[in-house]
Amino acid sequence: MSSKMVGSNNLAHARRMVQQLRVEASIERIKVSKASADLMRYCGENAKYDPLLMGIPASENPFKDKKPCTIL
Amino acid sequence: MGEMEQLRKEAESLKDEITAARKAVQDLTLQDHVAGTAVVGRVQLKTRKTLRGHLSKIYAVHWGDSKLCVSASQDGKLIVWDSYTTNKVHAIPLKSSWVMTCAYAPSGNMVACGGLDNMCSIYNLKGKDGNVKVMRELAAHTGYLSCCRFLNDNEIITSSGDCTCVLWDIETGSQKTVFAGHLGDCMSLGVAPDFNTFISGACDFTAKLWDIRDGQCRQTFGGHESDINAIGFFPNGNAVITGSDDASCKLYDLRSDQELITYQDSGIMCGVTSLAPSLSGRLILAGYDDFNCNIWDSLKAERVGVLSGHDNRVSCIGVTPDGMACCTGSWDSFLKIWN
């Protein structure tokens, strides 16, 4: 590979990097306070539907083996 | 060269602009917000099932629905399990045993896998004669396949050690879009709940958010001090969680474009291999190199539980779509179902 080709590859790469950074710099950002509030609200609203958080009654747990009861 | 120097200067200036813009929206931190919230109580999950059958290290597991999951092992097999009964629904022998990832299509009709063969192989589970056959071999990556996820029965996204991710048309076997930009091996990917974007984590220590349809990288998140091995969306699609060899997990918020919280503990010194949020997002389950899985309160960043029971590295983890259980896969060749 000639040094000229390597040089122009580096240039093309640098141009792409700058173009990408322009895209990323231009996005709209919301305030962290709003982002945090929304995360908290989502967790709060969905907590009651979260089986790993709330626990699962044995009778509703599809993974729990239903063993027959023996009276000793 | 004049232009090179100009571009270098412009790149630095843009990076400073991004840093400043992120700081400008930091009116309050997440920690301030959750200061009044209590940490969740201790979470104690029990092993309900152990899925035995693989003969070697398990590298990946993926739920198809809330009952069926597929696992991949370097014993050269993909196994589809009925997790309620522990029965093996399918045991699929692979051409290449060096598998690193597997995925279940949302429809339940197909599974996919790949690894050091640099290919993503698609298997049809619902073939007419009942046999599971290779339907398509998606070949074009010049590095190992680290992760794959179906969008639907005709589209799949792959991430590779060649530093790119690709969106494939399964019917034609062609690359629809190549997502290039990472400067290191892509290790993991996650698709947004609305299927419009996906995220990738890589060995360049960054996570990137990509627009699936136009191929554009929209956002890049740094902060990790080593390879990102695991990545996933927070359930509402507004945040991304990453797990890294630097022993920490991080939560990045997409709309404020920054890291909000780090999940780390001075007692944890080994890499994160895998992660999955619980249904509400309040819990993050993360697998580590030290054979354990830690459960984090995602808002308070405190450890609230541990899943111990594997005799080797926890390499993969997944929570069922209905949130009822999580599955861990390990180098000890077993999968465990916990709730």
What is the residue extent of each domain of chain A?
A: 28-55
Question: Alpha-carbon distance B70 to B83, whole Å?
Answer: 10
Using the beta-carbon criterion (under 8 Å), do B253 and A35 form an inter-chain contact? yes
B34 to chain A nearest CA, in Å? 8
Q: Which residues of B touch A50 (CB under 8 A)?
A: 278-280, 282-283, 323
Using the beta-carbon criterion (under 8 Å), do B25 and A64 form an inter-chain contact? no
Instruction: Give the domain CATH number at B202.
Output: 2.130.10.10
Chain B interface includes A64 (CB < 8 A): yes
Domain-located, residue B172: yes
Q: How many residues are given for chain B?
A: 339
Residues with Cβ within 8 Å of residue B164, at least 6 apart in sequence: B141, B178, B179, B180, B182, B186
Question: Alpha-carbon distance B165 to B140, whole Å?
Answer: 11
pLDDT in tens, B210-258: 999 999 999 999 999 999 999 999 999 999 999 999 999 999 999 999 9
Both tokens of B317, joined, read 């983890």
Residues with Cβ within 8 Å of residue A3, at least 6 apart in sequence: none
Domain-located, residue B113: yes
pLDDT in tens, B22-49: 999 999 998 999 999 999 999 999 999 9
- Among chain A residues, the shortest Cα distance to B220 is held by A24
Q: How many domains does the structure of chain B reveal?
A: 1
Would the CA dihedral through B206, B40, B291, B314 be positive or negative?
A: negative
Residues with Cβ within 8 Å of residue B265, at least 6 apart in sequence: B303
Domain-located, residue B142: yes
pLDDT in tens, B248-293: 999 999 999 999 999 999 999 999 999 999 999 999 999 999 999 9
Question: Can you tell me the ipTM of this complex?
Answer: 0.93
Chain A interface includes B299 (CB < 8 A): yes
A72 to chain B nearest CA, in Å? 25
Residue-number span of the structural domain to which B177 is assigned? 55-269
Q: How many residues are given for chain A?
A: 72
pLDDT by residue for chain A (72 residues), tens only, comes to 444 555 668 899 999 999 999 999 999 999 999 999 999 999 999 999 999 999 999 999 999 876 666 666
B47 to chain A nearest CA, in Å? 9
Nearest to B260 among A10, A36, A43 (CB): A36
Domain-located, residue B275: no
